[in-house]
Chain A
Amino acid sequence: MESKIEAATGKLVVKKVGGKSTVTRCFSKYPLKFIIPNKVGSSETDAVWVYTLTYGGGIVSGDSISCEITVADACTAVLTTQASTKVYKSLGSKSSEQILEAKIGSDALLAVIPDPVTCFSTARYSQKQIFRVVLDSSLVIVDWITSGRHESGEKWDFELYRSTNHIFLEGDQPLFLDSVLLEQGNITNIAERMQDYQVIAMVILLGPKLKQIQIQVQENVRRMMSEQLYLPSTGLRPHGKTQSDHFLAKPSFVVSCSAFGPKGIGIVVRIAAMTTESVYRFLQHQLAGMETLLGVSPYS
């Protein structure tokens, strides 16, 4: 990892200085910029907030942005955005990419809580996030994407989106290896695979600092979905979807929760929703308990 420092577009180190989580190293070059406000939320809370921005407000075809962050023992750091990440159209079939490599220490917490990615028509984009944790690290990752500029009718109109999230425990033990690929194909296109849903999201909650929230979220999700799932009264209709019966309409918000890792130290929440607002509301509600950890409630 050392040899890649110079090649990285951004580098952040958060360490305890005078007992407080402090950014001790902050480097960024075009097109990446960090904004680190002096104080976010209550001064009692020990947490550093870092906003990442890209010049031009989005990711341009061919951009390659890589970022490294180290959150030292007992520190808390938040990585977030000011607005949704726009990925502009691909020029000459070029792809753009973002890579994040994070190392989280003992009793430390990293919260990656961005706005969603929005890929414009024909965009080709991939992102890779690698997290290296130890047994008592805590981690919150929100990774989400909208179907595009749906008000302009762009729904799942991009060429390729790939999002990879890897979590390794104590060096090289794979804890969570997920890669979602949405690519237009000749047999199936993306819109068909997403049906009427316009947003997909994933939330990972890992580690001791999030135990209570994990339990609460699992319970909330179970309750929400139990009401939404039921046997339709008839079998398949041979003439297709002609019914107007709202009873047979798909749920506008589908969510499920799975435990992962030894002794279920982590949970992953997956969401498919018809509106971006409904996901913001869900995130705000489910992560409200993090205010004491971060100083401010995420997505509020």
Chain B
Amino acid sequence: GRLAPGLRSFHVGGPPEASTEANVSHGKEKQASVELPLHWSEWQLLDSILPTGGFAHSFGLEAAIQARLISSPDDLRTYVIHILENTGSLLLPFVCTATTSPDLETWHKLDRMLDATLTNEVSRKASTAQGSALLRVAASVFTEVPSLKKMREISLNFGDVAFHHAPLFGIICGLLGLHRGTSQRAYMFITLRDIISAATRLNLVGPLGAAVLQHQIAFVAEAMLKKWKDRAVEEACQTSPLLDTVQGCHAYLFSRLFCS
């Protein structure tokens, strides 16, 4: 679709990973204000302090503990890796396509598709909660991208947009000027970040141990990224049916800290 002035333009399958400075000066019309290197927006988007409510979700970890699937630090490590693989296989295609075509029509199509793809009610609801919060925050924060606010308002009026997280994350990255390679890596990063955070709050690991684990798993996450990135949404699949089943049990937990 046509982009409003001030936004950077994209081509699907565009130039190879360019430096972020090049991304900033890509569009025809630049903001009259000071050029801000993209790092600032990128890092703010990935910082857990951004109020998107990610802390409310454990990616099925809480249910897995109560099903006694996690009883050692090795179990936790394995769990995180399997969730990351599933994130890669199921959600990266949505992030990728949204980043390369960050327009309303593409977003709505991806949102409808993901709504039918997230057959697990627990993860589906978590996705819409996080996506809604993310778009609301992004529209308020990144005011130099007015289409964020416009797209949000139009979609709220439509009524049948679910506001799923992965496509919205991709859209926001795309509109900010990030390349799809970056947005997909970033999505893996925030998933890893959030599960590790949940593990700490569930007392599976202490804060320092969590930080060590996060860095160790980063190598695996990068390998997952290379395997699953840049695929079409028609190829999206889930690779951990056991974890999907267990996560679906979250609603049956008698006592819980997390929403999912």
Q: Known contacts A178-B238, A181-B237; is A236 also within 8 Å of B70 by CB?
A: yes
Query: Cβ of B245 and Cβ of A229 under 8 Å apart?
Result: no
Chain A stretch 188-206: residues in CB contact (< 8 A) with chain B: 188, 192-195, 197, 200, 202
Query: Cβ of A270 and Cβ of B241 under 8 Å apart?
Result: yes
Query: Cβ of A236 and Cβ of B72 under 8 Å apart?
Result: yes
Q: Which of A45-53, A103-111, A237-245 forms contacts with chain B?
A: A237-245
Chain A CB within 8 A of B65 CB: yes
Chain B stretch 216-260: residues in CB contact (< 8 A) with chain A: 220, 223-224, 227, 236-249, 251-255
Query: Cβ of A256 and Cβ of B205 under 8 Å apart?
Result: no
Chain B CB within 8 A of A271 CB: yes
Cβ-neighbour of A258 out of B74, B112, B119, B253 (below 8 A): B119
Q: Known contacts A174-B112, A187-B220; is A258 also within 8 Å of B122 by CB?
A: yes
Query: Cβ of B248 and Cβ of A197 under 8 Å apart?
Result: no
Query: Cβ of B73 and Cβ of A236 under 8 Å apart?
Result: yes
Report A254 CB to chain B, min CB distance, Å.
Answer: 5
Query: Cβ of B113 and Cβ of A238 under 8 Å apart?
Result: no
Q: Known contacts A237-B72, A272-B242; is A177 also within 8 Å of B116 by CB?
A: yes
**Bound state CA distance, A182 and B122, in angstroms?**
22
Q: Mark A239-283, 1 if CB is under 8 A from B, else 0.
A: 111010000111100111111100000001011100000000000
Cβ-neighbour of B242 out of A164, A194, A225, A231 (below 8 A): A194
Chain A CB within 8 A of B204 CB: yes
**Bound state CA distance, A183 and B203, in angstroms?**
32
**Bound state CA distance, A56 and B43, in angstroms?**
59
Q: How many A-B residue pairs have CB under 8 A?
A: 144
A238: chain B residues at CB < 8 Å are 72-73
Q: Mark B65-94, 1 if CB is under 8 A from A, else 0.
A: 111111111111010011001000100000
Residue of B nearest to A259 (CB): B121
Query: Cβ of A177 and Cβ of B113 under 8 Å apart?
Result: yes
**Bound state CA distance, A222 and B249, in angstroms?**
8
Query: Cβ of A254 and Cβ of B249 under 8 Å apart?
Result: yes
Chain B CB within 8 A of A19 CB: no
Query: Cβ of B68 and Cβ of A187 under 8 Å apart?
Result: no
Report B159 CB to chain A, min CB distance, Å.
Answer: 12
Q: Known contacts A250-B67, A250-B68, A270-B248; is A260 also within 8 Å of B121 by CB?
A: yes
**Bound state CA distance, A187 and B67, in angstroms?**
24
Report B206 CB to chain A, min CB distance, Å.
Answer: 10
Residue of B nearest to A228 (CB): B67
Residue of B nearest to A234 (CB): B71
Report B8 CB to chain A, min CB distance, Å.
Answer: 31
A174: chain B residues at CB < 8 Å are 112-113, 116
Report A108 CB to chain B, min CB distance, Å.
Answer: 22
A38: chain B residues at CB < 8 Å are none
Q: Known contacts A177-B113, A229-B66; is A187 also within 8 Å of B239 by CB?
A: no
Query: Cβ of A181 and Cβ of B239 under 8 Å apart?
Result: yes
**Bound state CA distance, A232 and B69, in angstroms?**
10
A188: chain B residues at CB < 8 Å are 78, 81-82, 85
Chain B stretch 133-174: residues in CB contact (< 8 A) with chain A: none
Cβ-neighbour of B82 out of A162, A193, A255 (below 8 A): A193
Report A133 CB to chain B, min CB distance, Å.
Answer: 13
Report A232 CB to chain B, min CB distance, Å.
Answer: 6
B82: chain A residues at CB < 8 Å are 188, 193
Chain B CB within 8 A of A180 CB: yes
Chain A CB within 8 A of B98 CB: no
Chain A CB within 8 A of B25 CB: no
B238: chain A residues at CB < 8 Å are 178-181
A interface residue numbers (CB < 8 A to B) = 162, 164, 174-183, 185, 187-188, 192-195, 197, 200, 202, 222, 225-226, 228-232, 235-241, 243, 248-251, 254-260, 268, 270-272
For the complex of A and B, the 6 pairs showing the least CB-CB separation, nearest first, are: A256-B248, A258-B121, A179-B237, A174-B116, A270-B245, A181-B237
Q: List 22 A-B contacts (CB under 8 A).
A: A162-B237, A177-B117, A181-B89, A182-B239, A185-B85, A187-B85, A187-B223, A188-B78, A200-B245, A222-B252, A230-B66, A231-B66, A235-B204, A241-B75, A254-B67, A254-B245, A255-B245, A256-B245, A257-B248, A270-B245, A272-B241, A272-B246
